[in-house]
Structure 1
Amino acid sequence: MKAALLEQPGQPLVIADVQTAKPMAHEVLINTKACGLCHSDLHFIDGAYPHALPLVPGHEAAGVVEAVGSEVTTVKPGDHVVTCLSAFCGQCEFCVTGRMALCLGAGTRRGKDAPSRLTRGDGEPVNQLLNLSAFAEQMLIHEHACVAIDKDMPLDRAAVIGCAVTTGAGAIFNAAKLVPGETVAVIGCGGVGLAAINAAKIAGAGRIIAADPLPEKRAMAETLGATDTVDAMADDAAAQIVALTNGGVDHAIEAVGRQASADLAVKVLKRGGTATILGMMPLDCKVGLGALDLLGGKKLQGAIMGMNHFPVDLPRLVDFYMRGLLDLDTIISETISLDQINDGFDTMRSGSSARSVIVFDR
């Protein structure tokens, strides 16, 4: 099969032939139909986050099940599925207490003595990114890394639910637990931020303020439900948001992964407000609350993958799209072929678009 291979950080991905192994007992072989380009992939591609190489990146995908292992019970051949990097074991402390997104995935990866799921023609093992490696015509994954969805759902739209929408919407529904009427500021209007804005509208937020330096992204935010927009790079961005909300927001969602945007999220909180950090920040970054923030009851939290319960959340998000509540069409800026993947990441680096999606049947 064709796959996009990362051989050296900072270098373009190489389209190469890669082989998949046969599914083991709890594994699922999927024909990949669509995969979104996520900024998290770019962190590994550019070397900001280390990973063993060679590597097939990609994790925001949808496809059709080709084959399943002997013990698989959750999906069957022919099912349409969305994958998620939050593969869960179902047995650990985090899983049994309802915090599946924090599961370390024990037992969802092949053991060191087992053959690699992916190899080159000469038998050299190829590493999987986040147990998925979706920049490939097929994925071989654990059954707890995918969920079946309505077959009427367009798979190019379904793909972005696997990360951007699950993360952004999950921050609103699961991590922030936004109550109708509360105010929210979303810092960064890429795919994750736009999904958070859309989810805040669905949840009945009283005021939704979108902060981004690019006018075109602020316009997309308004389409998805933002009631107000602010240039995130303006010197008085925090003051503008505080003024718009008469003292600050109940919830601030950081969806960029930069120190300045995280600091802005903290600055715009009202007393008792909560800042939720979603972006993959540089590894040396620290975000904090000052003494007066703490005295004012302000809170700071991370929310990996929106603290999702993806076997339940993803089908619900599909249903939201099918019912016209979730606007994925605005979030997806273009569809491309696998051969155009490096161009797609160049577009991401420019910051001018929301989401590019690879469609494998082009």
Structure 2
Amino acid sequence: MSTTVNAAVFAGVDEPPRIERVALREPGPGQVRVRLSAAGVCHSDLSLAKGVLPQTLPAVLGHEGAGTVEAVGPGVTGLEAGAPVVLNWTPPCRACWFCDNGEPYLCEHGLDAAQLPYGELSDGTAVYPGLGTAAFAEATVVPANGVVPLPAGIDPGAAALLGCAVLTGWGAVTNTAGVRPGQSAAVIGLGGVGLAALQAAALAGADPVIAVDASPAKRELALALGATRFLAADEGLVGEVRAATGGRGVDHAFEVVGTSATIRAAWDLSRRGGTVTVVGAGALEDTVAFSALEIFHQARTLRGCFYGSCDPDRDVPRVAAHVREGGLDLATMVTDEVGLDGLPAAFQRMREGRGGRTLIRFD
């Protein structure tokens, strides 16, 4: 038996998706089927569609989702039909070296599911789940450890943002960088992840919190979500940031775009001895250069950040508590709500740098 759903199918690199019927395989051992309430449209989905990040095609993309467990496969315990959940696109195996050493977000098997077909088109062609989740569909089949129970009190639609944007942005500030009260921070790139990082910096007590984006239209959104100052990318960034930080530069710079130019900008905005955290997923061939002297002289720390250094089983309840208490505002991050057929327009808004998070709603 199978369940047939409407899904956005990507058949070729940089081709627009087609809404097609996909027959999902019944949940096998250790799997669950989730009926989606909503899915966020992340820049990583655009990178997958463009071939910047690898993905076997045809595929249903989408990795930021929330919904309700509809069926469970053999051997699944602790999950029942009707349970609200958030998708986890890099589920830890809890047995590899990285998991055993406190880095489950780097699990050797976290992306295994993306390499296996999970359904078929009407002509029998195998379809692959983007990042193992395939959230741009009415339902999906994922490993049981690829879902996290949704804590009470969270809107089941906006909860989709917890699965990537919020965990990644909040985790970059909280887990990876460890921002402390009174430290200064700059966030470059105000998409969904950047807006979450911005809120997390304010929540951590950073001051000032400087928001940077190429689009001046994001000024009001940035200020509404905790920025003390907004700078457009062409506003003489280094001088402005140093003027706001006693001539030094920020303690923490967060790059949330994924280009060599913005990584270099984040480096230049940080103080001597400061920390630069690269959150954006860039292209393999896009290289960034530093001189040997400046690395020595500036004594800065440059680090990558994968999935906010998060363990979703631990951190989803933590961020949910911040949402309930008003420290993280999911609703304001969502600037557009669409149906599945609105996905191409959402991708175009990201290409043009417009808006915050687009949310696809299925219910």
Tell me the TM-score normalised to structure 1 length: 0.94
Which residue pairs with 1:261 in the alignment? Answer: 262
Which residue pairs with 2:82 in the alignment? Answer: 78
Which residue pairs with 1:153 in the alignment? Answer: 154
Which residue pairs with 1:20 in the alignment? Answer: 24
Which residue pairs with 2:131 in the alignment? Answer: 130
Q: Structure 1 residue 118: deviation in Å?
A: 1.4
3-state DSSP of counterpart to 2:164: helix
Query: CA–CA distance in 1 between the matches of 2:237 and 2:283?
Result: 23
Query: CA–CA distance in 1 between the matches of 2:217 and 2:351?
Result: 15
Conserved 8 A contact 1:336-1:357: yes
Query: CA–CA distance in 2 between the matches of 1:315 and 1:74?
Result: 17
Q: Structure 1 residue 47: deviation in Å?
A: 2.7
3-state DSSP of counterpart to 1:2: strand
3-state DSSP of counterpart to 1:18: strand
Q: State yes or no: 1:239 paired with 2:243.
A: no
**Per-residue displacement from partner, 1:221-255 (whole Å, max 9, x unpaired)?**
11111111211123x21221122112011110001
Deviates further, 144-153 or 90-99: 144-153
Which residue pairs with 2:218 in the alignment? Answer: 217
Which residue pairs with 2:359 in the alignment? Answer: 357
Pairs within 5 Å for 1:89-128: 89-105=93-109, 109=113, 116-128=117-129
Deviates further, 217-226 or 287-296: 287-296
Same amino acid, percent of matched pairs: 37
Which residue pairs with 1:69 in the alignment? Answer: 73
Conserved 8 A contact 1:180-1:206: yes
Conserved 8 A contact 1:213-1:232: yes
Deviates further, 99-108 or 279-288: 99-108
Q: State yes or no: 1:51 paired with 2:55.
A: yes
Query: CA–CA distance in 1 between the matches of 2:297 and 2:78?
Result: 47
3-state DSSP of counterpart to 1:225: coil
Conserved 8 A contact 2:171-2:309: yes
Q: Structure 1 residue 107: deviation in Å?
A: 9.2
Q: Structure 1 residue 289: deviation in Å?
A: 4.3
Conserved 8 A contact 1:89-1:108: no
Q: Structure 1 residue 105: deviation in Å?
A: 1.6
Give the aligned length: 357
3-state DSSP of counterpart to 1:130: helix
Which residue pairs with 1:195 in the alignment? Answer: 196
Pairs within 5 Å for 1:159-308: 159-234=160-235, 236-246=236-246, 247-290=248-291, 291-308=293-310
Query: CA–CA distance in 2 between the matches of 1:300 and 1:50?
Result: 25
2:177 maps to a residue whose letter is A
Query: CA–CA distance in 2 between the matches of 1:346 and 1:271?
Result: 38
- Structure 1 gap segments, 5+ residues each: none
Query: CA–CA distance in 2 between the matches of 1:110 and 1:5?
Result: 14
3-state DSSP of counterpart to 1:67: strand
1:228 maps to a residue whose letter is R
**Per-residue displacement from partner, 1:101-156 (whole Å, max 9, x unpaired)?**
111226953987xxx32112333210111110110111111122110012432122
**Per-residue displacement from partner, 1:48-83 (whole Å, max 9, x unpaired)?**
333221111110100000111222234222111111
Q: Structure 1 residue 169: deviation in Å?
A: 0.6
- Structure 2 gap segments, 5+ residues each: none
Tell me the TM-score normalised to structure 2 length: 0.94
Query: CA–CA distance in 1 between the matches of 2:325 and 2:229?
Result: 25
**Closer, same or farther: CA 256–110 of 1 in aligned 2, 3 Å:** closer
- Which stretches of structure 1, 4 residues or longer, exceed 6 Å deviation after superposition? none
1:9 maps to a residue whose letter is V
How big is the alpha-carbon RMSD for the aligned residues of Structure 1 and Structure 2?
Answer: 1.7
Which residue pairs with 2:38 in the alignment? Answer: 34
Q: Structure 1 residue 267: deviation in Å?
A: 0.6
Query: CA–CA distance in 1 between the matches of 2:8 and 2:275?
Result: 39
Query: CA–CA distance in 1 between the matches of 2:115 and 2:61?
Result: 20
